[in-house]
Amino acid sequence: MHPPSVDRLARSLAHTGLPHPLLVDVARSSIEAGDHDRAEARALAVARSLLQPVINATGTLLHTNLGRAPWAASVDASFTNLEFDLATGQRGSRQRSVGQLFARLCDTEAAMVVNNCAAAVTLVTAALAAQRQVLVSRGELVEIGGGFRVPEVIEQSGARLHEVGTTNRTRAADFERAAAAPGGDVAMALLVHQSNYKIVGFTEATQARDLTDLRDGDGNRVPVVCDIGSGLLDAACPWLDEGPPLWLADEPAAKQTLAEGADLVCFSGDKLLGGPQAGVIAGSAELVAKCAAHPLARAFRPGSLVMQSLQQLAMSYLSRDGNAIAFWRMAARSADKLRARAQQVAEQLDGTGGTVVDMHSVPGGGTLPTVEIPSAGLRFDGDLTAALRAHEPPVIARVHDQQTFLDFRTFEPEHDAVVANALRNATSGGPALDT
């Protein structure tokens, strides 16, 4: 029996929703492999490989593999005044609109936005310390996700790393001695928050407030830059009715770090800030201007969609509307309410084995590595994760000791019916119901 033509096979797969050119690729590869009867499965596999919404039931609030902070931005298909000054009719600054909002949120002079926090640190070191020394504690030479390391970021920026202190104990005196060393050429001190690991025991760390009068051998003040990473804006959390949750204790915040004497702070947009991927640089207007004038600023600049999204996020913070920010909605939910939701879903499953259990969520995304947040959800015997992923939309759960756990903190209440349907299908093998 001869295989069908590529065109005929591709057209028979139109119901999968893929564009015809992709269906032609699927048909051709299926015929070449001699299994054209599996062409539909191949097409569906291609469709599943594309970006799509998923329901996060893992209990990790900032799940890097799932895009970290969920943020819904509403952007019209229209031109914007991205680099146009409406007052003068002349070219304007891409950074002005959003930068002024984040400067206000951080209670500082100026701010600008780049692609991510690694870009922020790279730009700052390139703009302020090219061919000069950057002081960093040996205990803060961190590696972030994807294998990116602080020493390599500094090297790529054109600056020179000068390690101070020891792995577990670094004092202000260590920075002062290095800064004032004869023949040195120190441009800045960089403090890096240990956001994805902890050193405990016989430890000591230097804070921005300890270095407010750090000077080089010629008596010039050395700027202090703090990479606070996770992106908490204000330790007081004025956007939450109940104030800051206990699990945020000791997490550095941009506003307080600058108030304590840091010249610049750098932080992420898609972690505790709760928005899209971005990096924020905030602090001294003079230093922010130097960063904005550096050639790398153009390479690292976000596009209009990200800037509009960040503007919406900043306005929510300025309005003290934490409920408008999905991350803070998830973070603020009480375990009692989560337990009640889990019980309602369990009652819809007709005794298929789900048990309501207490559990712990985690912030994730390289933030607060030892923190656990009391939560609740459902537990099932066996590994149901593959069946849940096959649902539309996919439900992402976690498995431990051959038991499947779904944490209700990390998905919205309006998704409870979808999760119930996915669980019904996964535990019974029956067809999914409309929800």
Confidence of residue 146 (pLDDT cuts 50, 70, 90): low
Residue 435 has pLDDT above 50, yes or no: no
Q: How far apart are CA 260 and CA 273, in angstroms?
A: 20
Report the alpha-carbon angle 275-276-281, nearest 5: 85
Q: How far apart are CA 316 and CA 83, in angstroms?
A: 23
pLDDT reported for residue 283: 98
Residue 102 has pLDDT above 90, yes or no: yes
Q: What percent of the chain has pLDDT over 90?
A: 82
Mean of the per-residue pLDDT values of the chain: 92
Residue 195 has pLDDT above 80, yes or no: no
Contact indicator for 195, 366 with CB cutoff of 8 Å = yes
Residue 6, phi then psi, degrees to nearest 5: -60, -45
Q: pLDDT tens-digit profile of 201-250?
A: 888 889 999 999 999 999 999 999 999 988 899 999 999 999 999 999 88
Q: pLDDT tens-digit profile of 365-415?
A: 878 888 999 999 999 999 999 999 999 999 999 999 999 999 999 999 999
Higher pLDDT, 137 or 368: 137
Higher pLDDT, 184 or 100: 100
Q: Which residues of 138-176 are buried (b: 16+ CB within 10 A; e: fewer)?
A: ebbbbebeeeeebeebbeebebbbbbbbeeebbbbebbb
3-state secondary structure of 188: strand
Q: How far apart are CA 86 and CA 95, in angstroms?
A: 15
pLDDT reported for residue 433: 42
pLDDT reported for residue 352: 74
Strand pairing class (355-364; 373-381): antiparallel
Q: How is residue 182 annotated by DSSP?
A: T
Q: pLDDT tens-digit profile of 2-55?
A: 778 999 999 999 999 999 999 999 999 999 998 888 999 999 999 999 999 999
Residue 65 has pLDDT above 70, yes or no: yes
Residue 316 has pLDDT above 80, yes or no: yes
Look at the pTM and tell me if it is higher than 0.85: yes
Q: Which whole number is the average pLDDT over 74-103? A: 92
In terms of Cα–Cα distance, which of 49, 53, 47 is closest to 71?
53
In this structure, which amino acid lies at residue 127? A
Residue 429 has pLDDT above 70, yes or no: no
Provide the β-strand partners of residue 150. none
Please give the helix or strand (H or E) that residue 422 lies within, else none.
Answer: helix 416-428
Contact indicator for 112, 296 with CB cutoff of 8 Å = no
Q: How far apart are CA 341 and CA 408, in angstroms?
A: 8
Provide the β-strand partners of residue 216. none
pLDDT reported for residue 38: 93
Residue 254 has pLDDT above 80, yes or no: yes
Residue 337 has pLDDT above 90, yes or no: yes
Contact indicator for 270, 306 with CB cutoff of 8 Å = no
Strand pairing class (160-164; 133-137): parallel
Residue 143 has pLDDT above 90, yes or no: no
In CATH, which of 3.90.1150.10, 3.40.50.300, 3.40.640.10, 3.40.50.720 is domain 96-324?
Answer: 3.40.640.10
In terms of Cα–Cα distance, which of 312, 337, 335 is closest to 325?
312
Q: How far apart are CA 16 and CA 286, in angstroms?
A: 55
Residue 173 has pLDDT above 60, yes or no: yes
Please give the helix or strand (H or E) that residue 206 lies within, else none.
Answer: none
Residue 155 has pLDDT above 80, yes or no: yes
In terms of Cα–Cα distance, which of 262, 266, 257 is closest to 291?
266
Confidence of residue 432 (pLDDT cuts 50, 70, 90): very low
In terms of Cα–Cα distance, which of 241, 327, 308, 352 is closest to 97?
308
Q: How far apart are CA 95 and CA 84, in angstroms?
A: 11
CA atoms within 13 A on the CB side of 164: 28
Q: What percent of the chain has pLDDT over 70?
A: 97
pLDDT reported for residue 1: 60
pLDDT reported for residue 145: 64
Q: How far apart are CA 170 and CA 347, in angstroms?
A: 55
pLDDT reported for residue 148: 73
Residue 147 has pLDDT above 80, yes or no: no
Look up the CATH number of domain 55-70+328-428.
3.90.1150.180
Q: Which whole number is the average pLDDT over 49-71? A: 95
